[in-house]
Amino acid sequence: MNDQTPRPQIDHAKALIKVKAFGLNRMDLFQREGHYPVPPQAPKTLGVEFSGIIEELASESESSFKKGDAVFGLAYGGAYAEYIAVSTHMLIHKPDELSWEQCAGIPETWITATQAMYLIGGFKPGKSILWHAGASAVSIAGQQLSSANGASAVFATARSDDKTEFCVKELGSKAAYNTETTDWAAEVLKATDGKGVDIIVDYIGPQTFAGNLTAAARDGRIVNLASLSGPSFKPGMAEPNFGLFVGKRLRMEGSSLRSRDEDYQGKLRDQLHDHALPKFKDGSFKVLIEKVFKWEDIQDAHRLMESNKTKGKIICTIS
């Protein structure tokens, strides 16, 4: 904590934010270990989502923002800090109904879920959807979005019974399956009368690949956002039936949010603001927080995330 980083400079449409809280994400762990491809415009400092107060505005900033405004937003990096410089195109005014901690847990997770569902998955009311890693922050957001926006059925997977129970009781999923103890793909087919699900959002990669092909419906879409089970198939993993790709006319697409340009991210910010923010205000959507740390205890926060035992966001506050 003795190293000092200069206060960021702002230009064009950027604002200087005094950070009140920031959210942790799995990518932070990978970046810390040198395994995450950081965008060229990102600073070395970790962190992509935050809440705070505007201290300065550059000349091309959005006119709806002014000095002293309470905001939250998404950045390419630099949120683990007392100050962050970020485009005003990626900011949202903080509602009075939400705390600094809650707002810091919204941008990355809810925008990623929106991107996966709509822009990649082609979600429309009446479609069914499965969220892997159901107790992760993005899937917590995704299950709420799916239910609220007219999914015919929402399913989830997780690696423990308490997490699958959490998905059903707290998030409203029709069913959730423990991937350690059940043939989740077979259970999904059974629950859908053999049809399968229209959209699968996956972070696991090789370990769930074969099951995804089985559980997907004809003309289904599989959205891959990460590969937590590693970059390649390992002994003991189920062998995929590649004939299902053709037989079911499946589409699989990988995607990431952080590597997208500002225009792309800005459109997702607008969608979050227009469609989700009212539901945060009235309590329909919930930001579920596992634990709040002081930012001096960031190592403990990372250890908690590494434990894979959380059901919600990990947040750090800066006093």
In a domain, 4, yes or no: no
Measure the CA–CA gap between 23 and 172, rounded to whole angstroms. Answer: 24
Class of residue 266 by CB neighbours under 10 A (exposed 0-12, middle 13-18, buried 19+): middle
Domain boundary among 226, 254, 282: 254
Measure the CA–CA gap between 113 and 296, rounded to whole angstroms. Answer: 29
Domain shared by 121 and 187, yes or no: yes
What tokens appear for 76 in the block? 């390419």
In a domain, 246, yes or no: yes
> What is the model's pTM?
0.91
Domain boundary among 210, 232, 254: 254
Domain shared by 113 and 230, yes or no: yes
Determine the residue type at 286: K
Domain shared by 60 and 115, yes or no: no
Domain shared by 250 and 267, yes or no: no
Domain shared by 48 and 71, yes or no: yes
Domain shared by 133 and 245, yes or no: yes
Helices and strands counted in the chain (H then E) = 11, 13
For residue 197, give the CATH number of its domain.
3.40.50.720
In a domain, 101, yes or no: yes
Contact (Cβ atoms closer than 8 angstroms) between residue 188 and residue 210: no
β-strand pairing of 14-23 with 313-317: antiparallel
Compute CA 239 distance to the chain's CA centroid, rounded to the nearest angstrom.
28
Instruction: Return the closest-CA partner of residue 131 out of 202, 198, 44.
Output: 202
For residue 42, give the CATH number of its domain.
3.90.180.10
Measure the CA–CA gap between 127 and 150, rounded to whole angstroms. Answer: 8
pLDDT value at residue 119: 92
Domain shared by 60 and 172, yes or no: no
Domain count, the chain: 2
In a domain, 20, yes or no: yes
Domain shared by 204 and 312, yes or no: no
In a domain, 157, yes or no: yes
In a domain, 5, yes or no: no
In a domain, 8, yes or no: no
Report the side by side order of strands in the sheet with 197-202: 175-178, 153-158, 128-131, 197-202, 216-224, 251-254
In a domain, 57, yes or no: yes
Average pLDDT by stretches of 10, the chain with 319 residues: 77 97 95 87 92 97 97 96 96 97 96 94 98 96 96 97 97 97 98 98 96 98 93 91 95 90 89 92 95 98 96 95
Contact (Cβ atoms closer than 8 angstroms) between residue 244 and residue 214: yes
Boundaries of domain holding 37 = 14-106+261-317
Domain boundary among 239, 254, 269: 254
Domain shared by 100 and 120, yes or no: no
Look at residue 100 and give its three-state secondary structure.
Answer: helix
Q: End-to-end distance of the chain based on CA atoms, in angstroms?
A: 15
pLDDT value at residue 1: 43
Domain shared by 172 and 241, yes or no: yes
Q: Give the DSSP H or E segment for 176.
A: strand 175-178
Domain shared by 138 and 165, yes or no: yes
Domain shared by 51 and 101, yes or no: yes
Instruction: Return the closest-CA partner of residue 194 out of 217, 222, 213, 220.
Output: 217
CB atoms within 10 A of CB 126: 10
pLDDT value at residue 264: 87
pLDDT value at residue 37: 82
